Amino acid sequence: MLRSWHDGPTKSAIVDFVDWAATNVPPEERVAVFDNDGTLWCEKPMYVQLDFLLRRFKEQADDDPALREKQPYRAAYTGDLTWFGDAVTKHYQGDDVDFKLLLAEVLSAHHAITVDEHASRVKAFFAEATHPTLGRPYTSCGYTPMVELLRYLADNGFANYVVSGGGRDFMRPVTWQMYGIPPERVVGSSVGLTYRDADVFITAEPEFLDDGPMKPVRLWSRIGRRPILAAGNSNGDVEMLEFTRGLRLLVRHDDAAREFEYATGAERALQHAAASDWTVVSMRDDWRTVFGSG
């Protein structure tokens, strides 16, 4: 039971809560929601989906030299990963200028293809891509203790959901393999879809950015129940954790030796955790291991 977690207050808080829920909460109300980037899998030095998009932007810039003169294509073409990282960091600090520029091009990156073709592109990416600094396949960059927690919850009658700012249709092809979470339990950011010629196609129109205050809105619209357990790691998860009535877990990245050490983009979340008595999970102190073999 939670063998990859060190014994201590954090593990005890989880076990005690699950024991209580298994006795006092009807199975249909045992809903747990998890952010993905930085909570279930590694998000540094860049988001996994960003690597996927970078490759697409570079393909587009290769085909159209004019694109190389504007962002984010220029950064993708020249390998300037700093621009992308800074855009996301500034977003979580309240400056959305570059993030909006990035988001606008994300919307057009895969438009006019079918959802099946998009899923095939995602699967091909995961079949060959590796983490740029850890040297592991991205499918082996899930956090072993969190995957173990998901299984522990499922064994105790919980329904686990991914509720992430990442793209819904980017995560769905791998969440069952990595986490045991089926695609219908993945709530994420999305673009519009349209039906024609007996198929469903991706459009370039925005639908939802599943982040910050939108997270509880989206999870309620999709799940229809208030979670009794939630886990996140950043400022974008604060509202989802606030909306949860039960155990709130905040993963703190404080293990430079085995993963990364950073608090940028989590400042507000850490303040809320201290003020609201959330359970802070220290990667350094609470986890025996971070990644499994592979």
Could you tell me the CATH number of the domain that includes residue 161? 3.40.50.1000
Tokens in use for 20?
A: 């209580």
CA–CA separation, 195 and 269 (whole Å)? 40
Position 89 scores a pLDDT of 79
* Per-10-residue mean pLDDT, the chain, length 294: 96 98 98 98 93 90 90 88 82 83 81 93 96 95 98 98 96 98 97 95 90 96 97 97 98 97 95 97 98 78
Structural domain including 169 reads 9-44+141-190+208-286
What is the number of structural domains in the chain? 2
Strand partners, 155: none
Confirm whether 162 is domain-assigned.
yes
- In this structure, the answer to whether residues 38 and 178 fall within a common structural domain is yes
- In this structure, the answer to whether residues 216 and 99 fall within a common structural domain is no
Position 106 scores a pLDDT of 80
Q: Which of 180, 178, 220 is nearest to 31 (CA)?
A: 220
Position 294 scores a pLDDT of 53
- In this structure, the answer to whether residues 29 and 70 fall within a common structural domain is no
- In this structure, the answer to whether residues 24 and 167 fall within a common structural domain is yes
Confirm whether 274 is domain-assigned.
yes
Confirm whether 203 is domain-assigned.
no
- In this structure, the answer to whether residues 69 and 19 fall within a common structural domain is no
Confirm whether 200 is domain-assigned.
no
- In this structure, the answer to whether residues 28 and 40 fall within a common structural domain is yes
CA distance readout (Å), 138 to 41, 42, 44, 222, 253: 9, 8, 12, 27, 18
- In this structure, the answer to whether residues 74 and 218 fall within a common structural domain is no
Position 104 scores a pLDDT of 80
Confirm whether 1 is domain-assigned.
no
- In this structure, the answer to whether residues 15 and 101 fall within a common structural domain is no
- In this structure, the answer to whether residues 181 and 276 fall within a common structural domain is yes
- In this structure, the answer to whether residues 180 and 94 fall within a common structural domain is no
Give the domain-ending residue among 112, 131, 164.
112
Give the domain-ending residue among 112, 130, 163.
112
> With 0-12 CB in 10 A as exposed, 13-18 as middle and 19+ as buried, what is 284?
middle
Give the domain-ending residue among 91, 112, 133.
112
Confirm whether 130 is domain-assigned.
no
pTM confidence score? 0.92
Confirm whether 293 is domain-assigned.
no
- In this structure, the answer to whether residues 241 and 157 fall within a common structural domain is yes
Confirm whether 199 is domain-assigned.
no
CA–CA separation, 245 and 227 (whole Å)? 6
- In this structure, the answer to whether residues 151 and 268 fall within a common structural domain is yes
